[in-house]
A and B are shown apart, each in its own frame.
Chain A
Amino acid sequence: MKAFGYVSAKDLEHAIALLGEHGARAKILAGGTDLLVELKHAVHNPEVIVDVSRLHELKTIAVADDGLHIGALVTHSDIMNSPVIRDMFPALVAAAHSIGAMQTRNLGTLGGNLVTCVPSMDSGPALIALDASVTVASTEGQRRMPLFELFVGPRKTSLKPGDLLVDIIIPKENLGKPAAFEKFGLRKGQALALVNVGASFWIDREKSVLVAPRIALGAVAPTVMRAPKAEAFLDGCKISAEVMAEAGRIAAMEAKPISDFRASADYRRDLVAVLVKRALANAQARATAKEKELVA
C-alpha cells in the first residue's frame, strides 16, 4: 500500500469534524474489507484514512418511533446474530449470511456494503424491498433520504466528500412485512451474486390478495433496481403460484443485465424470473408461518 496518514475517530462528532477538515483527500475506513483491497491495488490514493471503526454509536440495532435503526457500522455477523432482525427481517439475515465468508462478515459492515455500491451488493435488494432510508451526517448537519437515492451507478453514490453514512432505517409501517431474499452465485461460499432479489408484500387475508408488493433486483443493472411493472401487476392480485411466476417473467423483461465472465445477460434474465418467483413464494411462506405463531 502507498503511504497515507491515519487518524482514528473517537466519536461521531470527531469523525464528522475530521471528514469536514480533510474532505476529498480522505477515505473512510469502516470494516476495511473493500477499502483495503482497493488501497492495495492503488484504486485510491488518499492522503488520510479516517478510521471510524470505533464509533460505538454507529453499532446499535434499535427500534425507535419511526422504525428499525441499524447503525452503519453493524457488521454482517451482527445482523445474523441480532434477535430483533432475525425475528422481524429474516430476509436481511439471509442477505448478510450470503456475503463473503465468516472472516469478512465479522469485519464488513452494512454501511460499507451500501456505500461501496457495487451492482451485486447483497444488502441492497433486501433493504430496497423494505423501503429503507438512510441518515447521512456532515458538518452541515444530518439529513435523511431514501436508500434508493444513495445509489447512483457502479461504485458511485450520491454522498459528497465529508459525508458519513450514520444509519439505515426500515420504516415503522414495514416492521414485520413479509419479505425474502434470494441469491444465485457460482458457489455457496464467497461468491458474488449473478443475480439477487429482494421481495416483500402484505397480504389482505379477507380478500386473499397481495398489497404493496416490492421487487428489488441486484446485479442486473448499474445499481439495485426496482421492477415497477412486475410490482404493478402483483398489486391487488389473488395469491397464487401462477401470479408469482408471471411477476418473475415481467421482472426478467424489466432487468437490464450485461454479459460478463460470470454469466451471460440471457442467463441472468432467466435467473431473475426464477429468483423473483422463489422470493415471492418464500415471503408468502414466512407470512403463513408468522400467522401460525401468532395463533399458537
Chain B
Amino acid sequence: MTDVTMIVNGQVRGASVPPETTLLQLLRDNFNLTGAKLGCDVGDCGACTVIVDGQAVNSCLMLAGQAEGRQILTIEGLASREWLHPIQTAFENSGALQCGFCGPGVLLSAKALLDENLNPSTQEIRDALSGNLCRCTGYTKMIEAVQDAARLLREESRTQLTHARTEATAP
C-alpha cells in the first residue's frame, strides 16, 4: 500500500491505497469527490481533468502516489452552495452545457487558462479546451461562456484593484 497525503480543495486529505490506484480513483473512491469523471481512462477525453499545483492534468494518467504533497483542485472546490465561480455563472448564463458529463473537466480547463490569461483569444480558448471532448454542445457556447467568464473576472479584478487603491489612500 502507498500512503498519500495531499491538499484537496483546501483541506488536508490522506489515504492508504494500492500503488496502482490513479489519482482519479483516489478522488472518487476514497475521497468521495465524484465530480471528476471516468471517461476514456487513457487521457483523451478530459472528463477527469483536475488542477494539480495550478496546472490542468488528466487525473486518470497520474498515480495517487504522484499527488503526494500536492495541491489539488476539483470541481467541488470551485463553488460553494451559496456562491458560484464566475466561470460557472458564465456557463449557466450561456447554456454552455447540455448533459454535463464533460462539464467539470471543461470548467477546470477553462479555469487553468483564465488563471494565466484573463484576455484569451478564441484560438487560445479552443487550444485550452482541445483536451476536453463534448458530444452535446459543439463547443460554440462553451467558447462564448469562457469569453464571458474572462470579462466577469477582469471586472472583478478591476473592482478589487479599485478597492485596494481606495483603502490605500484612505486616511
Interface residues of A (CB under 8 A from B): 1-6, 8, 29, 32-33, 36-37, 39-40, 49, 51, 53, 77, 100-104, 106-107, 188-190
Judge whether B68 and A8 touch: CB under 8 Å.
Answer: yes
A191 nearest in chain B by CB position: B130
Contacts of A1 in B (CB 8 A): 20, 22
A-B contact pairs, 15 of them (CB 8 A): A6-B2, A8-B65, A32-B61, A37-B42, A49-B63, A53-B66, A100-B43, A101-B130, A102-B131, A103-B43, A103-B109, A104-B131, A107-B62, A189-B131, A190-B44
Judge whether A32 and B128 touch: CB under 8 Å.
Answer: no
Contacts of B113 in A (CB 8 A): 102
Complex-state Cα separation, A195 to B75, whole angstroms: 38
Judge whether B56 and A3 touch: CB under 8 Å.
Answer: no
Judge whether A101 and B131 touch: CB under 8 Å.
Answer: yes
Judge whether A106 and B57 touch: CB under 8 Å.
Answer: yes
Contacts of A39 in B (CB 8 A): 20
Query: Does B49 interact with chain A (Cβ within 8 Å)?
Result: yes
Contacts of A4 in B (CB 8 A): 19-20
Instruction: Please pick, from B22, B46, B63, B66, the residue contacting A103 in the complex, using a CB distance under 8 A.
Output: B46
Q: What's the interface size class on B, roughly? A: 20 to 34
Instruction: Choose among A29, A49, A101 the residue with the greatest number of B CB atoms under 10 Å from its CB.
Output: A101
What 4 A-B pairs are tightest by C-beta distance, nearest first? A101-B131, A189-B130, A6-B19, A1-B20
Query: Does B33 interact with chain A (Cβ within 8 Å)?
Result: no
Q: Known contacts A101-B46, A103-B131; can you find 4 more A-B pairs with CB under 8 A?
A: A8-B65, A107-B58, A190-B44, A190-B130
Judge whether B49 and A103 touch: CB under 8 Å.
Answer: yes
Judge whether A104 and B43 touch: CB under 8 Å.
Answer: yes
Instruction: Please pick, from A3, A36, A100, the residue contacting B63 in the complex, using a CB distance under 8 A.
Output: A36
Instruction: Choose among B2, B18, B130 the residue with the greatest number of A CB atoms under 10 Å from its CB.
Output: B130
Instruction: Please pick, from B42, B56, B57, the residue contacting A40 in the complex, using a CB distance under 8 A.
Output: B42
Taking the nearest CB of chain B, how far is it from the CB of A11, in angstroms? Answer: 16
Judge whether A37 and B61 touch: CB under 8 Å.
Answer: yes
Judge whether A33 and B43 touch: CB under 8 Å.
Answer: yes
B20 nearest in chain A by CB position: A1
Judge whether A32 and B131 touch: CB under 8 Å.
Answer: no
A81 nearest in chain B by CB position: B116
